[in-house]
Amino acid sequence: MFLINCPYCGEREQAEFSCGGEAHIVRPKNPPELTDDQWSEYLFMRKNIKGIQFERWNHSNGCRRWFNVARNTATDEILKIYNMGEKPPNISGDALDTPSGEPEIGSGNISTTYTKK
């Protein structure tokens, strides 16, 4: 459980919110021209990073508005909250993505790397 600072309501418990998954997914401009693999990649394939990830969140038990969050998924630290339609913040510096510096993907027992055919 962690707190999220809704840009419209203020700080609330995470239980009031719903995560809408990865942010900044752009719909292809020419869907009829895509292969089934390309279309399914757009629809279903999302990053599941252990580290800093940009996500869409909805204050589903509050104002019901959407916003973007830059969150470290390893620590649940929220690094930035910004409006829908804004570009992702440039988060860099000396801070490690994960507390012990392990790689974002494949640091568990199961590899999550997606290999395109």
Per-residue contact string for residues 6-25; x = within reach of Zn ion by CB under 5 A: x-xx----------------
Q: How far is residue 47's CA from residue 53's CA, in Å, rounded to a whole number?
A: 8
The residues near 1 (Cβ < 8 Å, ≥ 6 apart) are 13, 14, 15
Q: How far is residue 5's CA from residue 78's CA, in Å, rounded to a whole number?
A: 9
90: nearest Cα among 54, 57, 50? 54
CB of 56 vs Zn ion, minimal distance in Å: 14
Beta-bridged to residue 12, according to DSSP, are 4
Among 56, 62, 81, 98, binds Zn ion (CB under 5 A): 62
69 binds Zn ion (CB under 5 A): no
CB of 54 vs Zn ion, minimal distance in Å: 19
CB of 66 vs Zn ion, minimal distance in Å: 10
Per-residue contact string for residues 20-59; x = within reach of Zn ion by CB under 5 A: ---------------------------------------x
Strand 18-22 vs strand 10-13: parallel, antiparallel, or unpaired?
A: unpaired
Task: Name the site residues for Zn ion (rule: CB under 5 A).
Answer: 6, 8-9, 59, 62-63
